[in-house]
Amino acid sequence: MPGEKKIEQQLERKYYVADPQFRRSMGVLLGPPIVEGNKVEVLLNGDQIFPSMLAAIRSAERTITFETYIYWSETIGKEFSDALIERARAGVKVHVMLDFIGSMKMDLASLDAMKAAGIELQRYHKPVWWKLTRLNNRTHRKLLVIDGKVGFTGGVGIADQWRGNAQTKEQWRDTHFRVEGPVVGQIQAVFTDNWTKSTGAVLDGDAYFPALTPKGDHAAQMFASSPTGGSESMHLMYLMAITAAKHTIHLSSAYFVPDELTVKALADAARRGVKVRIITPGTDIDSEVVRSASRELWGDLLRAGVQLAEYQPTMFHVKALVVDDLMVSVGSTNFDNRSFSLNDEANLNIIDPVFAKQQVAVFNDDWAKTRKITLAAWEARPWHTRMMGRLASLIGSQL
């Protein structure tokens, strides 16, 4: 159950994304502050993502902190385990936080091998009788920090379906980000938050939080949400960005099941002239219940002028929001109640026009591979599709 009161009132539009007040509110109302001097590199699909992450792990000299939801005992899982084990044996302090549900397909022998090598490994909310109510609260965060200086975040899990370049049905489409600069300290702080909650140990000192110098021109902010504190902050961030949009909203959402307030905010944006485009998965999806619940909500959006499209080549697992070619939000958060209220999530926000336009170009490339959904087609959907959507909506708060 959510631990905090949900946002129930529509936000009033007081400024646009380009207004300095938007940036102030993002840093003060949500926190932590937006910091300058960062470099964010875009990694598309497994062929770019995994080599970059593994190279960073193998370069570690002092510390590795790694938190993820999906981690399975497959070929890529073994590559990561081997790399982490090698560094631990070389004297690097390695801390790994795996969600219990997300790592259930990882064999115990692999976990034991990591521990035997000296890796400190925690499985988040492992079921015990006095904590069963916490089982539905999962860490969905995807964080990797090397020596406190290089960070990674995005949508990728450690499983073989993320391999390749999204060229077949078996290769998922996803995006991850490599980060350098002062904001890496905030990424590390998000990891240590769950580590302290789970172990009682505080990771501190320059091995984890070194002095960080500017590495690029991107202004960025990393913040987290959790049912145990700030569960609505991610929801609020999305509502603030949508409400402040003046020209465009580009939303890539692997699991798009917005609540009534978010649907209204998107529809209102479209009605005031904002071009709103949303990409969701098509028939290639790992949860048909989520797809059914999502499609049931499209009527009000389509009637307001929102453009919706389903990605066709393979499973679409991207999680990104670009507003007015200026503000970008990427990370682990899905556009659903589970991410907004039930899971531990983390998102990186970047305010930079050059970077934002690069993300719009990536979006446009994905958009070219979609099937567009019209209002007429949605209204003509067969009765069994309507029935599935209504049934799925009954459990929408848990999706």
Q: Mean pLDDT, consecutive 10-residue segments, the chain of 399 residues? A: 62 93 91 95 98 98 97 94 98 96 89 97 72 68 97 96 96 98 97 92 97 98 79 85 97 93 95 97 88 88 97 97 97 84 90 97 98 92 72 60
DSSP codes joined into one string, 255-321: SEE--HHHHHHHHHHHHTT-EEEEEEE-S--S-HHHHHHHHHTHHHHHHHT-EEEEE-SS-B--EEE
Active site residue 384: no
Please name every residue paired with 123 in a beta bridge, in sequence order, or none if there are none: 98
pLDDT value at position 2? 47
pLDDT value at position 146? 98
The answer to whether the CB of 85 falls within 8 A of the CB of 118 is no
Active site residue 319: yes
- In the chain, what are the domain boundaries? 20-398
Query: Residue 17: which of 328, 347, 263 has the closest Cα?
Result: 328
pLDDT value at position 76? 96
Q: Which of 95, 176, 250, 317 is catalytic?
A: 317
Q: Which of 39, 95, 125, 142 is catalytic?
A: 142
Active site residue 264: no
* The pair of three-digit structure tokens given for residue 336, joined into one six-digit string: 């659903």
Q: Is 206 exposed, middle or buried (0-12, 13-18, 19+ CB in 10 A)?
A: exposed
Active site residue 95: no
What contacts 271, CB < 8 A, 6 or more positions away?
Answer: 304, 305
* The pair of three-digit structure tokens given for residue 93, joined into one six-digit string: 């302090």
Q: How far apart, in Å, are the Cα atoms of 157 and each of 8, 170, 176, 238, 254?
A: 32, 14, 10, 23, 13
Please name every residue paired with 311 in a beta bridge, in sequence order, or none if there are none: 281, 370
Superfamily name and number for 20-398: Endonuclease Chain A (3.30.870.10)
Q: Which of 147, 325, 336, 344 is catalytic?
A: 147
Q: Which of 99, 193, 324, 366 is catalytic?
A: 324
pLDDT value at position 137? 74
Q: Which of 95, 140, 246, 250 is catalytic?
A: 140
pLDDT value at position 135? 60
pLDDT value at position 1? 46
pTM: 0.93
Active site residue 19: no
The answer to whether the CB of 60 falls within 8 A of the CB of 90 is no
Q: Measured between alpha carbons, how far is 279 from 258 in angstroms, rounded to an integer? A: 14
pLDDT value at position 141? 93
Active site residue 247: no
Q: What is the SS3 assignment for 233?
A: helix
pLDDT value at position 286? 83
Q: Which of 319, 325, 344, 366 is catalytic?
A: 319
